[in-house]
Amino acid sequence: MSSYTVRSWVTIGLFGALWGAVEIVLGSYLHLILPPQADTFLAGVLLGAIGVAVALTGRHFVPNRGSVFFIGVVTALLKLLSPGGVTIGPIVAILAEGTLMEATLWIARTPRLWTFMVSGALTVAWNLPHKFVMMRLLFGKGFTEVFNKMVKDGSQALGLDVSAAWLILGILLLVRLIVGAIGGWIAWKLGSAVARRLGLQNLFAS
Amino acid sequence: MEIGQRGGASAGVTEPVRELSPWGYLLFAIWAALATVLVEGRWLAAPLLLELGFGLVWGRDGLRILRRPRFWIFILSAAVVGPFLIGDPDVTLGPFHLSREGLAAGLEMAGRASTLTLAFRLGPAALSLSDVVAVFDHLGLRGLGFATALAMNLLGTLREMAAMTWQTIWLRGGMRRPLVALRLFLITTIANTLRYGDEAVNAATVRGFDLDVGRPSALPLRRADLWLAVELAGCGLLLLVLHLLPDTSV
């Protein structure tokens, strides 16, 4: 923490505000116009990818360890403090995304294009188990029973094998991994482009 | 952390008994979340009733969620699916074959979800921006509090900057090439935000602001926090004894 200067915290605040603005404005709008079922399949993926792009771009300007996590914390707090945005699900999702991005960058150690892409992919992929984790947390062990029964009954009604549910989950996960990787790629390019525009030295120039 | 010293009531002025500090709200949220996770079945009604009582006294805003149809749809859906999907059907109600075991499980799911949602609404969500900054300050994370306050104050400016950038690109015919327009929009918005950051850093430097210097702002415990802590400890103990009683009596 001692390596963080006032400028580092200001930049973390700026990128937290950018991600927060997207979550509050676009998030509220998407949750209003889309049915709740679309939260997992569309709104969450889109917001996750934009969040990845914003937070990882922030890493270009605050290369300190932990900066992406702190950007996530600031975003979650903005969501918490925003009127009408006080729901536990998105706040936990933002914190988990910040943690995942930071963990991936920490493991990779040296920032590279591929680390940004892997970080983005894993972060947006979290969007899929997030719904189940939150439901399990909120509803308790009864949720697991309901979920298993719904998968069985649903596959019977559609005339599909239960393993088809795993295939569908696999496809949903793959889509998230691809979208997240694109988010990471955008962050890498965007950070370099902004640094060039401002005449700053690009810390991650490869 | 002094009790009722700095930031407390002035001499001769009675401190309102009902006022909690941010520590009180956080303590209640942690207690309610723990109680919800630890107890099962009908005992979930105890933390739920306590939350309603807490909400009536200290956080009426947090109880506003009870007026929202979306909340009730979310909660009741758990209670409704239970009798259909959990356990073996043992009751016939018209064309439906329902399970009593499923109804109990569904009600428990609904109770758990509403208790956890209310705990969050009445706890962390009840804090103001200055409360959050002061809590971080006390936890030794002054920088994070500073960043949060800056971000909160920047939100309006950021929206204006983004709208202006978008309109400029649009008026200059940038929309004929949407991808280039989007790239320009993102680069300009982020660059402008960082320039705004330079102004914030300069202003902080001119004022001699240093994150490592100075004492944390006062955030004393209030009398109501202590009463709350005692009540929660008592309720927790009672709940534990009552919850464990059938097991120990066997």
State pLDDT tens for residues A147-191. Answer: 777 777 777 777 777 777 788 888 889 999 999 999 999 999 999
* A180 and A48 Cβ atoms separated by less than 8 Å: yes
Q: Which of A2, A28, A62, A77 to mutate to test the interface with B (most CBs of B within 10 A)?
A: A77
Is residue B73 located within the same domain as residue B182? Answer: no
Percent with pLDDT over 90 in chain A: 44
Mean pLDDT over A51-71 rounds to: 93
CA-derived radius of gyration, chain B: 26
Is residue B64 located within the same domain as residue B160? Answer: no
> Which of B124, B149, B210 lies at the smallest CB-CB distance from A80?
B124
Is residue B125 located within the same domain as residue B224? Answer: yes
Count of domains forming chain B: 2
Cα–Cα distance for residue pair B117/B101, rounded to 1 Å: 24
Choose between B172 and A31: higher pLDDT: B172
Is residue B175 located within the same domain as residue B233? Answer: no
Mean pLDDT over A20-44 rounds to: 78
Q: Is residue B82 part of a domain?
A: yes
Q: Is residue B184 part of a domain?
A: yes
Is residue B158 located within the same domain as residue B117? Answer: no
Q: Identify the pLDDT of residue B215.
A: 72
Q: Where are the domains of chain A?
A: 6-197
Question: Does the CB of B134 have a partner CB in chain A at under 8 Å?
Answer: no
Q: Identify the pLDDT of residue A2.
A: 64
Percent with pLDDT over 70 in chain A: 91
Is residue B47 located within the same domain as residue B79? Answer: yes
Is residue B125 located within the same domain as residue B161? Answer: no
Is residue B226 located within the same domain as residue B115? Answer: yes
pLDDT, tens only, A125-147: 998 888 888 888 888 877 777 77
Residue B52: give the domain boundaries. Answer: 22-129+219-249
Sequence-distant (≥ 6) Cβ neighbours of residue B118 within 8 angstroms: B32, B48, B51, B52, B55, B62, B63, B65
Q: Is residue B14 part of a domain?
A: no
Q: Identify the pLDDT of residue B244.
A: 66
Does the domain at residues A6-197 carry the CATH identifier 3.30.70? no
Is residue B54 located within the same domain as residue B121? Answer: yes
Q: Identify the pLDDT of residue B15.
A: 45
Mean pLDDT by 10 residues, chain B (250 residues): 41 54 90 86 88 88 85 85 82 83 87 89 84 86 90 89 92 88 93 91 84 74 88 88 60
Q: Is residue B167 part of a domain?
A: yes
Give B-chain residues touching A192 at CB under 8 angstroms.
none
| DSSP 8-state secondary structure symbol assigned to residue B91 | E
Q: What element of type H or E holds B23?
A: helix B22-38
**Which of the listed ranges A30-44, A191-205, B48-62 does the model predict with the highest average pLDDT?**
B48-62
CB contact (8 A) between residue A10 and residue B204: yes
Closest chain A C-alpha to B8 CA, distance in angstroms: 25
Q: Identify the pLDDT of residue B249.
A: 44
> Which of B109, B201, B210 lies at the smallest CB-CB distance from A10?
B201
Closest chain B C-alpha to A186 CA, distance in angstroms: 10
Question: For A82, which residue in chain B has the nearest alpha carbon?
Answer: B152
Is residue B40 located within the same domain as residue B121? Answer: yes
